Amino acid sequence: MRSLSARLSTLITTAGMCVLSTTALAADLTVSAAASLTNAFNDIAKAYQQQYPQDKVRLNFGASGSLLQQIQNGAPVDVFASADQQTMDQAQAKNLVRAADRVNFVNNTLVLITPKNSTLNIRNMKDLQQASIHHIALGNPAYTPAGRYAQAAMEQAKVWSKVQPKIVNVNNVRQALDYVANQSTEAGFVFGTDAAIMPDKVQVAATIPTTKAISYPIARTINTKEPAAANRFIGFVRSAKGQQILKRYGFQSVR
């Protein structure tokens, strides 16, 4: 029969190995995500950390194109979630993410909004040509997906050249939302999920059709130092729990 001291030694060694194992699994994860994901990803990060308490998630939000530039310039990012395919295509072309690592995880809609108390008769994009409309908030199409979707839709409706002088380019879709909510502009283009978080300050004048579905891709970056944790986070976003949180904020399941 083993001595008490031998058994204690084994228990201490086993406990030490468990601590080392837990420490080895711990990760400090940086997730850069489109501004329209702010509320949903804040909740997802909290739920993720409850399930994986060894991991710490740091969130960085902004226009998808701006986030891409940060990654390209060497920002230490482990997971990138874009509001459009074009930006993720660029990330892939620049060898910042791999095609095999990207996956679409949610869809959205584009909407035209006005202040809640607006008395202007705006029901479609052609109505933006009215003389009473002086300013239209729009994420800069150069790096903001919502802005690109809106510009393409206005070009298709043949109103872009007429309303372009009224456009107020802003940094991201949430800033466009704020401009309309604060009545700094008479109208603006945002995603449906953005309008849904301020129902007391903005109203949806029209849902804008787009030629392609507004699908959001997510991928771990090539330079991540936490590939296992990055995969865990992406898996959580796609899980029933993650999708439930996204649905609560108005996002649509990928078809």
Question: pLDDT truncated to tens, each residue of the chain (255 aa)?
Answer: 455 455 545 444 444 444 444 444 788 999 999 999 999 999 999 999 999 999 999 999 999 999 999 999 999 999 999 999 999 999 999 999 999 999 999 999 999 999 999 999 999 999 999 999 999 999 999 999 999 999 999 999 999 999 999 999 999 999 999 999 999 999 999 999 999 999 999 999 999 999 889 999 999 999 999 999 999 999 999 999 999 999 999 999 996
User: Phi then psi for 82, rounded to 5 degrees?
Assistant: -105, 155
- Give the whole-angstrom CA distance, residue 162 versus residue 51: 52
Has domain 4-107+216-248 been given CATH number 3.30.2290.10? no
Q: SS3 for 188?
A: strand
Which part of the chain is CATH 3.40.190.10?
4-107+216-248, 108-208
- Give the whole-angstrom CA distance, residue 248 versus residue 81: 18
Residue 1 pLDDT: 47
- Give the whole-angstrom CA distance, residue 136 versus residue 113: 10
- Give the whole-angstrom CA distance, residue 36 versus residue 140: 14
If you classify domain 108-208 with CATH, what class do you get? alpha beta
Tokens of 123: 């029901």
What is the b/e burial string over 83-117, where b = at least 16 CB atoms within 10 angstroms of the residue's CB? bbbbbbebbbeeebbeeebbeebbbbbbbbbbbee
- Give the whole-angstrom CA distance, residue 242 versus residue 63: 22
Q: How far is CA 94 from CA 29, 36, 43, 78, 235, in A?
A: 22, 24, 31, 16, 24
Annotated binding site for molybdate: 36, 64, 146, 173
Residue 95 pLDDT: 98
Tokens of 52: 């994986």
- Give the whole-angstrom CA distance, residue 29 versus residue 6: 40
pTM of structure: 0.88
What are the beta bridge partners of residue 80? 32, 219
Annotated binding site: 36, 64, 146, 173
